[in-house]
Amino acid sequence: MRIALLISTEHRESDVTEAAAALRPMPDYLALSDALVRAGYQVALIDRAEAQRTLSPRALALARRAGPDLPQAIVAMRRRREYDCFVCDSEGIGIPLAALLRTRGAPNGVFLIAHRMTARTKQALWRSLRLEKQVAGAFCYADTQLECMRELGFALNRLHRMPFHADHRFYAPSGIPKERMVLSVGQEQRDYASLIAAASSLRCPVRVLASSPWSRFQGRGAPSQLPPNVSFLKRVSYLELRDLYARAAVVAVPVEPVDFQAGITSLLEAMAMATPVVATANPGLREVFADGEAGIWVPPRDQAALATAIDYLLRHPREAAEMGRRGRALIERGMTLDHWVARITRAVLQAP
């Protein structure tokens, strides 16, 4: 079988060498590619840079008007005879590719991760073009997205509910003593306004790293005036990020009220580092653990509840440490990078 992996980022060879040297987590698409190659399959990557190299400037500009991921879908469609199936890291790539292949009558199957199929435009396109006939498999990280795919009539034997992952080898407890410090990481739909309001009642530093290699969507950001204990960090290395996770007493994941798994990356990375979390109880997050197991859930945009939960963990370090240990155990039992790779590989190779 010949498989193309379509990724919504740019592949860099430096990522491979840095991951091999334990300077950064292993990119999940590389781990998946390696697993498929070991299974005896031919694998190629189609990233954003490949689309830029392949399409003419005019075609690239026109395609981008319809969406940032359309150029890669066009490249994959043009190369459809070179591959038996396509694996896409989001429906943003998978839906336009499935649509292009269906209009050509191509037999290639498309596998996609359904991050947010609840968006009306995506559902309309899915229904109008009957894309369920082209999509060979869909992976959902949130129950809301799974239910959406069911309502769209997608075959249950091609629908896979699975958790996200953390690179458990890179993000692992280090034994560094915890500091009385709160850390918050990420950009996708973050509610930093609530965190900053909560921080005004906390007697400890609150450090925010508001960046993401994937997200194009921001939530409510920082006001112009910050409490003296709040600082927004500039870009840090993965090693520096891991050190922050290790030293933080609590990792806060405040997210806008959305129906998908925004915030899941930092949530699982913190758990992998055995650091307790305080997070918004949104779909895709709240299914990860029971309240009080690896942290505390709070309602969306509830700055008082956020402050109370963080303060509780700061005042009860032993209980917080136990939550952190349980969080790491949950990662090891089913949310490692290896688990994620195995689930997708199995679904692709055993697809009906």
Q: What's the first-to-final CA gap in the chain, in angstroms?
A: 14
Tell me: the pLDDT tens digits for 282-317? 999 999 999 999 999 999 999 999 999 999 999 999
The pLDDT of residue 217: 44
Third-level CATH fold of 182-334: Rossmann fold (3.40.50)
Cβ atoms of 134 and 254 within 8 Å: the answer is no
The domain ranges of the chain are 2-165+336-349, 182-334
pLDDT-above-70 percentage for the chain: 96
Phi, psi of 178 (to 5 degrees): -75, 145
Question: Cα separation of 104 and 77, whole Å?
Answer: 9
Within this chain, domains 2-165+336-349 and 182-334 share the same CATH topology: yes
Burial bucket for residue 121 (CB in 10 Å: 0-12, 13-18, 19+): exposed
The pLDDT of residue 314: 98
214 has a pLDDT exceeding 80: no
pLDDT confidence of 156, banded at 50, 70, 90? Answer: very high
Question: Cα separation of 289 and 278, whole Å?
Answer: 12
Tell me: the pLDDT tens digits for 188-204? 899 999 999 999 999 99
Phi, psi of 304 (to 5 degrees): -65, -45
The pLDDT of residue 68: 85
Phi, psi of 46 (to 5 degrees): -125, 105
Tell whether domain 2-165+336-349 is in CATH 1.10.10.10. Answer: no
pLDDT confidence of 223, banded at 50, 70, 90? Answer: low
The pLDDT of residue 62: 84
> What does 231-290 look like in DSSP terms, one character per residue?
EE-----HHHHHHHHHH-SEEEE-B-S-SS-TTHHHHHHHHHTT--EEEE--TTTTTSS-
pLDDT confidence of 220, banded at 50, 70, 90? Answer: low
Both tokens of residue 316?
Answer: 């009860």
Q: Over the chain, what is the mean pLDDT?
A: 94
pLDDT confidence of 69, banded at 50, 70, 90? Answer: confident
The pLDDT of residue 66: 80
